[in-house]
């Protein structure tokens, strides 16, 4: 990674591999003429926590399919599909089978099979900090989870329930929301 300008002097300061699975945001793109009269395309990138930034060759990054938009599109594509207890898709679902299916298809994330295990597995998020793509859990308490849905913002979720896959409000008289978790940070 190095400084920027059309007369860019390339200095390596490390590799992206040393940052593991960091999310990078591209804010600029430049084509640079190299000393051997060839050109190379570079991106100016910033890490999600904004602590690391610099220029990298465009081939050093790959576009992630892990976005809330992608998750939401997969989730919406199953609206009105039938509910069947124990089903994990692709055409029928129970609540945790639905969340497992959507996260696998949209984010290549394998969730545990049942709602209680999904709740236990991932970092807990307060209602106030809930973001699009978080899971919202229902039951009589955190030790007795009986339902899960995908939070889509605005107090709504998409879930598989007795009437099939629906887009509905999280806070209604027949549900008792007991918590949220974040299997994937979409940065929503």
Residue 154, C-beta contacts closer than 8 angstroms, at least 6 positions apart: none
* 162 labelled catalytic: no
Helix axes 68-76, 95-107, angle to 10 degrees: 130
Active-site annotation holder among 81, 94, 95, 134: 95
Cα–Cα dist 82/45, whole Å: 43
* 95 labelled catalytic: yes
* 176 labelled catalytic: no
What 3-state class would DSSP assign to 56?
A: strand
Enzyme catalytic residues: 95, 147, 159
């Amino acid at each position: 990674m190095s400084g920027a300008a059309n007369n860019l002097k390339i200095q390596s300061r490390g590799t992206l591999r040393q940052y593991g699975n960091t999310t990078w945001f591209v804010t600029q793109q430049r084509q640079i003429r190299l000393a051997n009269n060839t050109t190379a395309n570079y991106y100016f990138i910033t890490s999600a926590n904004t602590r690391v930034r610099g220029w990298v060759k465009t081939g050093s990054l790959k576009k992630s399919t892990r976005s809330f938009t992608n998750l939401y599109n997969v989730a919406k594509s199953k609206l009105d599909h039938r509910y069947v207890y124990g089903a994990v898709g692709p055409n029928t679902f129970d609540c945790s089978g639905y969340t497992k299916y959507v996260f696998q298809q949209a984010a290549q994330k394998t969730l545990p099979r049942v709602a209680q295990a999904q709740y236990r597995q991932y970092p807990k998020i307060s209602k106030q900090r809930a973001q699009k793509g978080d899971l919202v859990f229902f039951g009589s308490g955190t030790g007795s989870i009986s339902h899960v849905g995908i939070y889509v913002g605005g107090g709504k979720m998409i879930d598989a329930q007795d009437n099939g896959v629906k887009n509905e409000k999280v806070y209604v008289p027949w549900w008792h929301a007991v918590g949220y978790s974040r299997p994937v940070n979409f940065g929503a």
